[in-house]
Amino acid sequence: MEQFSFETYDFKRSLILVGPPGVWKSYQAMELYKRFPTEKQFDKYWITDWMFKQKTQSQDLNLRKAIDWQLSYEFFPMEIMIRCALLVYDDLGVSDDTKAYMKNLTFLLDERIRRGLPTIFTTNLTNKEIADKLDERIASRVLLNTDVVQMTGDDLRKKSARAFEYKVKKEEK
Protein backbone atom coordinates (compact mmCIF):
# COMPACT_ATOMS: atom_id res chain seq x y z
CA MET A 1 0.00 0.00 0.00
CA GLU A 2 1.29 3.44 -0.92
CA GLN A 3 2.22 5.84 1.90
CA PHE A 4 0.11 9.03 2.05
CA SER A 5 1.69 12.42 2.79
CA PHE A 6 -0.43 15.13 4.39
CA GLU A 7 2.30 17.66 3.62
CA THR A 8 2.03 17.17 -0.15
CA TYR A 9 -1.75 16.76 -0.44
CA ASP A 10 -2.78 19.11 -3.26
CA PHE A 11 -6.58 19.43 -2.75
CA LYS A 12 -7.27 18.23 -6.32
CA ARG A 13 -9.15 15.14 -5.19
CA SER A 14 -11.42 14.47 -2.26
CA LEU A 15 -10.00 12.69 0.74
CA ILE A 16 -11.48 10.30 3.27
CA LEU A 17 -9.64 9.60 6.50
CA VAL A 18 -10.79 6.25 7.90
CA GLY A 19 -9.85 4.67 11.18
CA PRO A 20 -10.71 3.91 14.77
CA PRO A 21 -11.35 6.66 17.33
CA GLY A 22 -8.36 8.61 18.56
CA VAL A 23 -5.96 8.23 15.61
CA TRP A 24 -6.20 11.98 14.88
CA LYS A 25 -8.34 11.90 11.76
CA SER A 26 -10.08 15.15 12.70
CA TYR A 27 -6.76 16.69 13.75
CA GLN A 28 -5.19 15.90 10.36
CA ALA A 29 -8.30 17.25 8.60
CA MET A 30 -8.02 20.46 10.64
CA GLU A 31 -4.35 20.83 9.72
CA LEU A 32 -5.27 20.49 6.03
CA TYR A 33 -8.16 22.92 6.53
CA LYS A 34 -5.76 25.49 8.01
CA ARG A 35 -3.28 24.98 5.16
CA PHE A 36 -5.87 25.40 2.41
CA PRO A 37 -5.13 28.58 0.45
CA THR A 38 -8.08 30.91 0.87
CA GLU A 39 -8.85 34.46 -0.16
CA LYS A 40 -12.51 34.81 0.73
CA GLN A 41 -14.32 34.26 4.01
CA PHE A 42 -16.36 31.30 2.77
CA ASP A 43 -13.76 29.53 0.62
CA LYS A 44 -13.74 26.71 3.15
CA TYR A 45 -16.26 25.30 5.60
CA TRP A 46 -16.17 22.72 8.41
CA ILE A 47 -19.19 20.74 9.55
CA THR A 48 -19.69 17.60 11.59
CA ASP A 49 -22.23 14.92 10.74
CA TRP A 50 -24.09 15.72 13.95
CA MET A 51 -24.29 19.44 13.05
CA PHE A 52 -25.48 18.54 9.54
CA LYS A 53 -28.26 16.41 11.01
CA GLN A 54 -29.23 19.18 13.46
CA LYS A 55 -29.37 21.72 10.61
CA THR A 56 -31.50 19.26 8.63
CA GLN A 57 -33.91 18.75 11.54
CA SER A 58 -34.22 22.50 12.14
CA GLN A 59 -34.72 23.04 8.39
CA ASP A 60 -31.70 25.34 8.37
CA LEU A 61 -30.34 23.86 5.12
CA ASN A 62 -32.72 25.62 2.76
CA LEU A 63 -31.43 27.25 -0.39
CA ARG A 64 -32.22 30.84 -1.21
CA LYS A 65 -35.48 31.43 -2.98
CA ALA A 66 -35.99 34.05 -5.67
CA ILE A 67 -37.04 36.63 -3.10
CA ASP A 68 -33.87 35.90 -1.05
CA TRP A 69 -31.29 36.58 -3.76
CA GLN A 70 -30.53 40.03 -2.39
CA LEU A 71 -29.38 38.33 0.85
CA SER A 72 -25.82 37.08 1.07
CA TYR A 73 -25.48 33.32 0.81
CA GLU A 74 -23.63 33.33 4.14
CA PHE A 75 -27.06 33.07 5.78
CA PHE A 76 -27.67 29.79 3.93
CA PRO A 77 -25.26 27.07 5.17
CA MET A 78 -26.18 24.62 2.39
CA GLU A 79 -25.14 27.16 -0.21
CA ILE A 80 -21.84 27.73 1.56
CA MET A 81 -21.23 23.95 1.66
CA ILE A 82 -22.11 23.62 -2.03
CA ARG A 83 -19.97 26.57 -3.16
CA CYS A 84 -16.93 26.58 -0.87
CA ALA A 85 -13.66 25.50 -2.44
CA LEU A 86 -13.00 23.05 0.41
CA LEU A 87 -15.53 21.33 2.64
CA VAL A 88 -14.51 19.23 5.64
CA TYR A 89 -17.25 16.80 6.69
CA ASP A 90 -16.21 15.37 10.04
CA ASP A 91 -17.45 12.05 11.50
CA LEU A 92 -19.46 10.85 8.49
CA GLY A 93 -22.05 8.29 9.55
CA VAL A 94 -22.19 9.16 13.25
CA SER A 95 -25.79 10.40 13.19
CA ASP A 96 -28.83 8.25 12.67
CA ASP A 97 -30.13 8.84 9.20
CA THR A 98 -33.54 10.19 8.28
CA LYS A 99 -35.11 10.73 4.87
CA ALA A 100 -34.44 14.47 5.06
CA TYR A 101 -30.82 13.89 6.14
CA MET A 102 -30.24 11.41 3.29
CA LYS A 103 -31.85 13.78 0.78
CA ASN A 104 -29.76 16.74 1.94
CA LEU A 105 -26.52 14.75 2.04
CA THR A 106 -27.11 13.31 -1.44
CA PHE A 107 -27.89 16.79 -2.79
CA LEU A 108 -24.76 18.25 -1.16
CA LEU A 109 -22.51 15.51 -2.54
CA ASP A 110 -24.05 15.72 -6.03
CA GLU A 111 -23.55 19.48 -6.18
CA ARG A 112 -19.92 19.30 -5.00
CA ILE A 113 -19.21 16.54 -7.53
CA ARG A 114 -20.89 18.54 -10.31
CA ARG A 115 -18.72 21.55 -9.46
CA GLY A 116 -15.54 19.44 -9.15
CA LEU A 117 -14.89 20.60 -5.57
CA PRO A 118 -12.92 18.48 -3.09
CA THR A 119 -14.32 17.34 0.24
CA ILE A 120 -12.38 15.92 3.16
CA PHE A 121 -14.33 13.32 5.13
CA THR A 122 -13.40 11.71 8.42
CA THR A 123 -15.13 8.53 9.59
CA ASN A 124 -14.77 5.46 11.75
CA LEU A 125 -16.75 3.47 9.17
CA THR A 126 -15.32 1.27 6.43
CA ASN A 127 -16.59 1.69 2.86
CA LYS A 128 -18.95 -1.24 3.37
CA GLU A 129 -20.23 0.18 6.66
CA ILE A 130 -20.89 3.53 4.97
CA ALA A 131 -22.91 1.74 2.29
CA ASP A 132 -24.79 -0.32 4.90
CA LYS A 133 -25.48 2.52 7.33
CA LEU A 134 -26.16 5.35 4.90
CA ASP A 135 -26.78 4.08 1.40
CA GLU A 136 -24.87 2.59 -1.54
CA ARG A 137 -25.58 5.76 -3.53
CA ILE A 138 -24.01 7.95 -0.84
CA ALA A 139 -21.02 5.60 -0.46
CA SER A 140 -20.49 5.76 -4.22
CA ARG A 141 -20.61 9.58 -4.20
CA VAL A 142 -18.24 9.80 -1.22
CA LEU A 143 -15.71 7.56 -2.98
CA LEU A 144 -15.87 9.25 -6.41
CA ASN A 145 -12.47 10.81 -7.23
CA THR A 146 -11.39 10.28 -3.61
CA ASP A 147 -8.14 9.19 -1.99
CA VAL A 148 -8.84 6.85 0.94
CA VAL A 149 -6.35 7.06 3.79
CA GLN A 150 -6.57 4.21 6.30
CA MET A 151 -5.28 5.55 9.61
CA THR A 152 -4.20 3.07 12.24
CA GLY A 153 -2.66 3.15 15.69
CA ASP A 154 -3.54 3.48 19.32
CA ASP A 155 -6.15 5.89 20.63
CA LEU A 156 -4.04 9.00 21.28
CA ARG A 157 -6.78 10.53 23.41
CA LYS A 158 -6.61 7.62 25.83
CA LYS A 159 -2.82 7.86 25.90
CA SER A 160 -3.04 11.52 26.86
CA ALA A 161 -5.08 10.77 29.97
CA ARG A 162 -3.20 11.02 33.26
CA ALA A 163 -3.89 8.83 36.27
CA PHE A 164 -3.40 9.93 39.85
CA GLU A 165 -3.79 8.35 43.22
CA TYR A 166 -5.22 10.21 46.15
CA LYS A 167 -5.37 8.65 49.55
CA VAL A 168 -7.84 10.08 52.03
CA LYS A 169 -6.43 10.45 55.51
CA LYS A 170 -8.62 9.32 58.37
CA GLU A 171 -9.42 12.02 60.86
CA GLU A 172 -8.18 11.43 64.37
CA LYS A 173 -10.70 11.83 67.20
Instruction: Report, as an integer, the average pLDDT of 52-74.
Output: 79
Average pLDDT of 78-100? Answer: 91
Tell whether the model's pLDDT for residue 72 goes beyond 80: no
- pLDDT tens-place string over residues 16-46: 999 999 999 999 999 999 999 887 777 999 9
115-143 pLDDT, tens digit each: 999 999 999 998 889 989 888 999 999 99
- Tell me which of 159 and 141 has the higher pLDDT: 141
DSSP 62-119: PPPPGGGTTS-GGG-HHHHHHH-SEEEEETTT-SPP-HHHHHHHHHHHHHHHHHT--E
As a whole number, mean pLDDT of residues 57-65 equals 81
Q: pTM for this one?
A: 0.85
Rounded distance, CA 113 to CA 144, Å?
A: 8
